[in-house]
Structure 1
Amino acid sequence: MSTEPSETSVSPPMRTATSRRTFIATTSAVGGVVAAGGLASGSALFGAQPAAAAETPPSSGVTLSVNGRRHTLTVDNRTSLLDLLREHLGLTGSKKGCDAGACGACTVLVDGRRVNSCLTLAVRLDGAEVTTIEGLADGDELHPLQQAFIDQDALQCGYCTPGQIMSGVGCIQERHTGSEEEIREWMSGNICRCGCYVKIVRAVEQATGRK
C-alpha cells in the first residue's frame, strides 16, 4: 500500500455573476428606501413644529409723537424705532446703514436728544417726542442746517446725509459747536464714506452763525 499522501481535490469557490448594471440597480433601490424612510421620519419631526412656529411673538402698544403727529401702534416687542419709522409709518428718510449703531445713518432726535434709532426699542418710547429728517423743514422753508448742507455742498452720495443733519441739529442744541475740533468730536459718531467731513463741519458752523 502506498504511504504517499493523497491529493484532495478542492473546488474553487463559486463566483456570483453580478453585473455592474445589477449592482447599480440594487444600490439605487436600497438608497431610495433609506431616503424614503428618512423623509418620512423627517416629516413626522417637522410636523410637530408648525404649532410652535405659529405662536404670535409678544407685542405691545405704544403711543408716541413723530414730527408733531401722534401715533398709536401695536408692534412686536423687538421692533426698533428705525423699523417703526420706516416700515410702519413710511418715514424712510432715516437710513438703515450698519444696523448696529456704528454709522449714525439712522440718527433721530428723541425728546431733543440724539439717538441711534436702529438700537432703540420702539416699545420703550411710549409718550416720547420723535423728530426725524422729515420734520425739520417748516413747510417749504428748510431748516438752517439743511440749507447749510446745500450751501457748503456737504454731501456726495447722500445716504448718510439725513443722519448727519439730525446729529448736527443735536450737536447745535447741545451747544457743542465752540470750535471746529469740538464739532468734529461731537459728530464723530456719524460716518461719511464719501469723506465730506470738512464740508459737514463747515455746514454746522454756518448753521450756528460761526461762518
Structure 2
Amino acid sequence: MSTELPDSAAFPSAEPPSAPTRRTFIATTTVVGGAALAGGLVAAPPTLGAEEAVAAEAPPGSRVSLTVNGVRRTVTVDNRTSLLDLLREHLDLTGAKKGCNAGACGACTVLVDGSRVNSCLTLAVRLEGAEVTTIEGLAKGDQLHPLQQAFIDEDAFQCGYCTPGQIVSGAACIQEGHTDSPEEIREWMSGNLCRCGCYVKIVRAVEQTVRGK
C-alpha cells in the first residue's frame, strides 16, 4: 500500500529562506568587490617610470680605489662583488682563476698587502687603499719571477689551471720563511689543490727558488 506525500512535502515552497545561503553570500561579495574596483574605490599601485624602475632594481654600489700590480685603479662595483670578479671582469686580469668559488681550491690566490687571500671570498669594497698583487704582477717586464722560472724548469704543472694560484701562494710561502723542509712547504701550501697531482714537482720548484735566493 503506497503512502502519498502531502503537496507541501512534494513541492516545497519556492520562497527563499530568510537567512542568505553560502552561494548567495559568495555571489554578492564578488559583485560588490567588482563594483568597488570598477568605481575606483581601491587605488591601483602607482606605475614607475622606466628610469625609476631601473633605479629600483639596481643593487647598491660603491666606489673603491686600490693599487693592483703597482697601478692605482678606481672602480665602482656592486657591493657584493668579490675581488676575484673585480680583477677578472672589471680590470681584465684573468690570471687568478675561478675554481670552486668557495675558498677551497686556492686557484684564485692573490696577495693583499703582502698576505695570501682567496680572492673569491674577499669583498672588493673592503679593500679601499689596499695593495693587490696577482700572478700578472710577479714578473718584472719580460723577466720572470724566480718561482715562475722554477715551475718551468721542474715541469710543475700539467693543465695549468691551478698554476697561477700555486705560484702566488708559493712566492708568499717563500717570503714568509715556511720553506725549511718539503713537509713544511706542503703544509703551508695545503690550501692550493692540484687536480693533476703535480705536488712533488711543485715542492721541488719552491725548493729550487729558495736555493737560488
Q: Structure 2: state its 5+ residue gaps.
A: 3-43
Q: CA RMSD in A?
A: 2.2
Q: Hey, what's the Cα distance between the residues in 2 that align with 1:58 and 1:139?
A: 38
Residue equivalent to 1:208: 210
Residue equivalent to 2:60: 58
Residue equivalent to 2:14: none
Letter aligned with residue 108 of structure 2: C
Q: Hey, what's the Cα distance between the residues in 2 that align with 1:204 and 1:145?
A: 7
Is residue 185 of structure 1 aligned with residue 187 of structure 2?
yes
- Give SS of 1:176's match: coil
Matched pairs, number = 168
- So what's the TM-score if we normalise by structure 1? 0.75
Letter aligned with residue 131 of structure 1: T
Task: Give the 3 Å change call, closer, same or farther, for CA 54–139 of structure 1 in structure 2.
Answer: same
Task: Give the 3 Å change call, closer, same or farther, for CA 53–73 of structure 1 in structure 2.
Answer: closer
Q: Hey, what's the Cα distance between the residues in 2 that align with 1:71 and 1:52?
A: 27
How far the C-alpha of 1:56 sits from its partner, in A, is 1.7
Q: Structure 1: state its 5+ residue gaps.
A: 7-43
Alignment of 1:15-164 (within 5 A): 51=53, 54-164=56-166
Alignment of 1:159-170 (within 5 A): 159-170=161-172
Q: Hey, what's the Cα distance between the residues in 2 that align with 1:122 and 1:209?
A: 36
- Give SS of 2:125's match: helix
Residue in structure 2 matching 1:172, options 148, 166, 174: 174
Q: Hey, what's the Cα distance between the residues in 2 that align with 1:90 and 1:52?
A: 27
Q: Hey, what's the Cα distance between the residues in 2 that align with 1:205 and 1:130?
A: 25
- Give SS of 1:178's match: coil
- Deviating above 2 A after TM superposition, structure 1's stretches of 4 or more consecutive aligned residues are 50-55
Letter aligned with residue 68 of structure 1: G
- So what's the TM-score if we normalise by structure 2? 0.74
- Give SS of 1:188's match: coil
Task: Give the 3 Å change call, closer, same or farther, for CA 52–66 of structure 1 in structure 2.
Answer: closer
